[in-house]
């Protein structure tokens, strides 16, 4: 068997609110709670398991999406009035990047996790 990432824990002040936030941006259903976790299942078989902790330590999560998914998610980000950036750490607010011939943005979730959407990866 090849080695694959199966799941990771996303620490949040409110696991329900944070899972719903990302699910709304990515147009994904929120899974049913199990134990201390609220899951989001991604297309490649990876699950983000949201867990309530206080305070959460901000992390970085990057999502490779196709052009149509990027357009839809980017529209939802703008519709919600979220600040987005072209560079990690908040560089070039209000812009997108064009790395590797694609498009990408960064935005913060409610717990200040740096979320990234990109259409091409190296």
Question: How many Å apart are CA 108 and CA 53, to the nearest integer?
Answer: 18
Is pLDDT at 101 greater than 80 in this prediction? yes
**Per-residue confidence (pLDDT) for residue 119, from 0 to 100:** 98
What are 38-78's pLDDT values in tens digits? 999 999 999 999 999 999 999 999 999 999 999 999 999 99
Mean pLDDT rounded to a whole number for the chain: 97
Q: Cα angle at 39 between 68 and 108, to 5 degrees? A: 60
Q: Where are the alpha helices (DSSP H) in 1-122?
A: 15-26, 67-79
Beta bridge partner(s), residue 48: 8, 40
**Per-residue confidence (pLDDT) for residue 114, from 0 to 100:** 97
Question: Per-residue confidence at 90, pLDDT binned at 50, 70, 90?
Answer: very high
């Amino acid at each position: 068997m090849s080695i694959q990432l199966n799941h990771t824990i996303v620490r949040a002040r409110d696991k329900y609110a944070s899972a719903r936030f990302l699910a709304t941006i990515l147009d994904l259903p929120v899974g049913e709670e199990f134990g201390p976790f609220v899951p989001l299942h991604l297309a490649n078989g990876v699950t983000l398991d949201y867990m309530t902790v206080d305070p959460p330590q901000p992390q970085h999560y990057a999502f490779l999406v196709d052009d149509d998914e990027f357009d839809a998610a980017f529209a939802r980000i703008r519709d919600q009035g979220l600040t987005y950036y072209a560079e990690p750490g908040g560089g070039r607010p209000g812009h997108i990047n064009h790395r590797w011939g694609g498009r990408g943005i960064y935005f913060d979730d409610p717990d200040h996790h740096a979320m990234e959407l990109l259409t091409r990866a190296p």
